[in-house]
Amino acid sequence: MVTAAPTSHLHPQHKPLPTEYQTTDKGRAAAEAYYSKEPSTDDTMPSSSKLTLSSTIPILNSPFTMPRLGFGIYQSPRDVCVNSCLTALRAGYRHIDSAQFYRNEAEMGEAVRQAGIPRSEVFLTTKILSAGGSVEKSYQKCADSVKSIDPSENGYVDLFLIHSPNSGSKNRKEMWQALERLVDEKKARSIGVSNFGIGHIEEMKSYAKIWPPQVNQIELHPWCQQREIVDYCNQNKIIIEAYCPLVRNMKAHDETLVSISEKRSKTTGQTLIRYCLQKGWVPLPKSDTPSRIKANADVFGFELDDDDMKRLDGLDQGERGAIVQVVTNS
């Protein structure tokens, strides 16, 4: 269930590695301190070793929380998407990630209605890629997305993101102000960005009423760890969502990954998702294959040890490791 966060805002998910393994993750200590200000016995806020499919993470400056595991639907065709989302929901996922660019927002919403799960128990995300030409026009594009996803009288999305910073400063400002209006009108509970670097987020201070953005969704996996923006987001308590956590299966035969997976008797996909969870990221694995959708949710009965994490951390290739894009931090 997507519930209101406890007032303590305890950090629910990250078990930090020993310092010598994480010397570049400078923001992690700050984030850990923030989320650990008060002790708690709330079972919904576990450490990484106690994560479950129902675990959530608190959203900054919000009474709401986000499920720790999401389901991505990029390139999920309309005639397939509803069934894939239904499979995910029946497997226990409660977090689905779409976008205007994906052209399957309505199918995501339809799946929730067909599943018979109360809207309040599912976390739905979409994104705006291109500005409309004015704040009003961008707002209307976003409002139309909300209506297609949740056509009820008081329909809303849980998270609305700017999909990319690539359209320029003027358009980024226009889209952000449109998202802020969505929040004001209760059509979006939280707002954030995707593929934004440090400079893009810092620039927002000059015009944003809501700052920092509550989420930054970026490409993350062992071969593309983007440590500078990860540190920055940790320092500013911005939730980090990881898209392409499975690297589109392009690394399924990597020797290190296979070795760790075989040791744990897990698939390479399960190992990569578990890696993201233990890094403190919110992974968004995508598949239209029912067996893989289910397997990708079965990542809470094991834990990678420090040596596993160190070996996976050692695979980082920086910009070369990206299969979509790395952020620009200038």
Residues 38-60: what's their mean pLDDT?
Answer: 70
Report the distance separating Cα 218 and Cα 240, nearest Å. Answer: 7
Maximum distance among all alpha carbons in the chain? 55
pLDDT in tens, 254-278: 999 999 999 999 999 999 999 999 9
pLDDT in tens, 203-221: 999 999 999 999 999 999 9
User: Confidence class of residue 119 from pLDDT cuts 50, 70 and 90?
Assistant: very high
Strands 56-58 and 65-67: antiparallel
pLDDT in tens, 123-173: 999 999 999 999 999 999 999 999 999 999 999 999 999 999 999 999 999
Residue 87: how many other CB atoms lie within 10 Å: 22
Amino acid identity at 220? L
For residue 196, give both structure tokens.
Answer: 């934004």
Task: Find residue 95's DSSP bridge partners.
Answer: 123
Residues with catalytic function: 102, 163
Burial of 118 (0-12, 13-18, 19+ CB in 10 A): exposed
Residues 293-308: what's their mean pLDDT?
Answer: 98
Residues 30-48: what's their mean pLDDT?
Answer: 46
For residue 277, give both structure tokens.
Answer: 């969870």
Residues 170-185: what's their mean pLDDT?
Answer: 98
H-assigned helices in the chain = 28-35, 78-91, 105-115, 135-149, 169-184, 198-203, 227-235, 255-264, 268-279, 290-297, 306-313
Report the distance separating Cα 82 and Cα 91, nearest Å. Answer: 14
State the average pLDDT for the chain: 89
Residues 237-243: what's their mean pLDDT?
Answer: 98
What local confidence, expressed as pLDDT, does residue 30 receive? Answer: 52
- DSSP assignment of 45-96: S--GGG--TT-EEEPTTSSBEEESS-EE-TT--HHHHHHHHHHHHHHT--EE
Backbone region of residue 248 per phi and psi (left: phi > 0; alpha: psi in -120 to 50; beta: other values): left
Task: Find residue 190's DSSP bridge partners.
Answer: 159
For residue 42, give both structure tokens.
Answer: 């709330």
Q: Angle 176-182-187 (CA atoms, 0-180°, nearest 5)?
A: 145
User: Confidence class of residue 330 from pLDDT cuts 50, 70 and 90?
Assistant: confident
pTM: 0.88
Report the distance separating Cα 233 and Cα 230, nearest Å. Answer: 5
- DSSP assignment of 277-312: HHHT-EE--B-S-HHHHHHHH--SS----HHHHHHH
For residue 310, give both structure tokens.
Answer: 């160190």
DSSP H or E stretch at residue 244: none
319 neighbors 326 (Cβ within 8 angstroms) = yes
Q: Which of 71, 59, 74, 69 is nearest to 129 (CA)?
A: 74
Residues 38-43: what's their mean pLDDT?
Answer: 37
